[in-house]
Amino acid sequence: MEHGDEVVPALNRCIALALARRVQIYASRDWHPLGHVSFRENGGPWPPHCVQDSEGAQFHPDLELPGSVVKVTKGVRFDHDQNSVFDETGLAYELRRRGILRLWIGGLAEDVCVRASVLDGIESGFAVLVLEDATRPITPEGGAEARLEMQRAGAQFATAA
């Protein structure tokens, strides 16, 4: 997506801060089967993207993910899309098991997967902070709406800078 790259330096700053404080990092990715239900060819809203094993499904090459990162794969279901990182991934179970209470969330896109993940995270009982300079919406209007919605749900906002 346009300007998507801009989140990488901000995410890298957060990764460095998290590593210095021994905070666990999770990296989620869409990992769609060919002809996924979310693609336009099947009546979904999106052009084909993040197809399994394709270049588009890779993490950004400049993203400095450490060896200790835990990857969360979503968008693999045949019957529905998974915008939220909590949608049938077992992530809430994993975070609780590790005693994690607070989440700092960034990435793409603010008005789709970030929004859904933040709302689900709050719903699951986590304190959620949105890294506002480490995320970008698909449209400005969608971003404004998503921020309002996340704020109303109880999300905090801060910059990585």
Contact set with Zn ion (CB under 5 A): 30, 75
Separation of alpha carbons 148 and 83, rounded Å? 18
Residue with smaller CB distance to Zn ion, 82 or 128: 82
**CB of 49 vs Zn ion, minimal distance in Å:** 6
Residue with smaller CB distance to Zn ion, 30 or 133: 30
Which residue sits closest to Zn ion, CB atoms considered? Answer: 30
End-to-end CA distance of the chain: 23
**CB of 74 vs Zn ion, minimal distance in Å:** 8
Is residue 14 within 8 A of residue 106, CB to CB? The reply is yes
Using the structure block, give the residue that is written with the tokens 């997967």: 113
Residue with smaller CB distance to Zn ion, 33 or 140: 33
Separation of alpha carbons 106 and 18, rounded Å? 13
**CB of 70 vs Zn ion, minimal distance in Å:** 20
